[in-house]
């Protein structure tokens, strides 16, 4: 399988070793948009300023997000790719919506970028999943029901694909659509 051309094969040590506080301290004034993410199962957490003025990417923070979203099942050089900007904006908007309701907690990412081999090994994953293109995230937020998180995703003016599952919500930057994942629908007797 050909590697995606957006593969981001740079040295990651400096980035990985940078604490959120260190990044914040290094950020110039005027950076507006910050995304707070945690990776489920690993405890990694970033408070990443990724956008300067609503349009210009702030590269150090952006890379922290890409790093957190990497495919953990493969070597970093394969699993660490440039994430779709529209998807990052979407996650930020969801976090802003939650904040408007007084919920200031990280989005806990259960799945970010997936290489094709990880996607094949992921139960229930679509063959052409947006995760393959670094355009999707599976997530939950502590103390927030999946229904409320789904609604926060849906409330965006330009939402992408939203999937409702028992233990996470899928949000991607593809076409606006929604589905219910592994919800068990009782059969008629």
Residue from the set 48, 78, 138, 152 that interacts with Zn ion by CB under 5 A: 138
39 scored as a contact of Zn ion (CB under 5 A) = no
Nearest approach, Cβ of 50 to Zn ion (angstroms)?
Answer: 21
Question: Total number of residues binding Zn ion (CB under 5 A)?
Answer: 3
For Zn ion, the closer of residues 99 and 179 by Cβ is 179
Is 93 or 138 the residue whose CB approaches Zn ion more closely?
138
- Considering the complex, what minimum distance in angstroms separates the CB of residue 160 from Zn ion? 11
Residue 62 to residue 68: CA distance in whole angstroms: 10
H-run or E-run covering 153: helix 146-154
Compare residues 37 and 136 and give the one whose CB is closer to Zn ion: 136
How is residue 83 written in tokens? 């994430």
Cα dihedral across residues 18, 22, 28, 29: positive or negative: positive
Shorter beta-carbon distance to Zn ion: residue 60 or 112: 112
For CA atoms 92, 76, 110, 22, the dihedral sign is: negative
Interface segment toward Zn ion; rule CB under 5 A; list 24-32, 49-57, 66-74, 133-141: 133-141
> Quick one: 49 or 161, whose CB is closer to Zn ion?
161
Q: From the CB of 174, what's the least distance to Zn ion, in Å? A: 11
Cβ-closest residue to Zn ion? Answer: 170
Site string for Zn ion, 159-178 (x = CB under 5 A): -----------x--------
| Residues contacting residue 181 through CB under 8 Å, at least 6 positions apart | 124, 163, 164, 165, 166, 170
**Alpha carbon distance 121, 103 (integer Å):** 34
Give percent helix, percent strand, percent coil of the chain, each to the nearest 5. Answer: 30, 20, 50
Contact positions vs Zn ion (CB under 5 A): 136, 138, 170
């Amino acid at each position: 399988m050909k590697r995606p051309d957006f593969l981001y094969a740079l040295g990651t040590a400096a980035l990985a070793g940078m604490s959120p506080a260190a990044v914040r301290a290094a950020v110039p004034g005027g950076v507006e948009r910050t995304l707070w993410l945690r990776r489920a199962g690993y405890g990694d957490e970033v408070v990443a300023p990724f956008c300067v003025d609503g349009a210009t990417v702030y590269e150090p923070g952006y890379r922290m997000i890409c790093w957190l979203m990497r495919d953990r099942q493969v070597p970093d050089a394969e699993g660490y790719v440039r994430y779709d900007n529209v998807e990052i904006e979407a996650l930020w908007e969801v976090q802003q919506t939650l904040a408007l309701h007084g919920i200031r907690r990280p989005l806990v990412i259960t799945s970010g970028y997936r290489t094709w081999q990880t996607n094949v090994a992921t139960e229930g994953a679509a063959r052409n999943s947006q995760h393959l293109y670094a355009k999707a995230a599976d997530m939950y937020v502590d103390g927030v029901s999946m229904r409320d998180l789904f609604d926060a995703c849906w409330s965006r003016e330009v939402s992408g694909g939203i999937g409702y599952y028992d233990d996470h919500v899928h949000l991607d930057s593809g076409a606006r659509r929604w589905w219910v994942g592994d919800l068990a629908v009782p059969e008629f007797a």
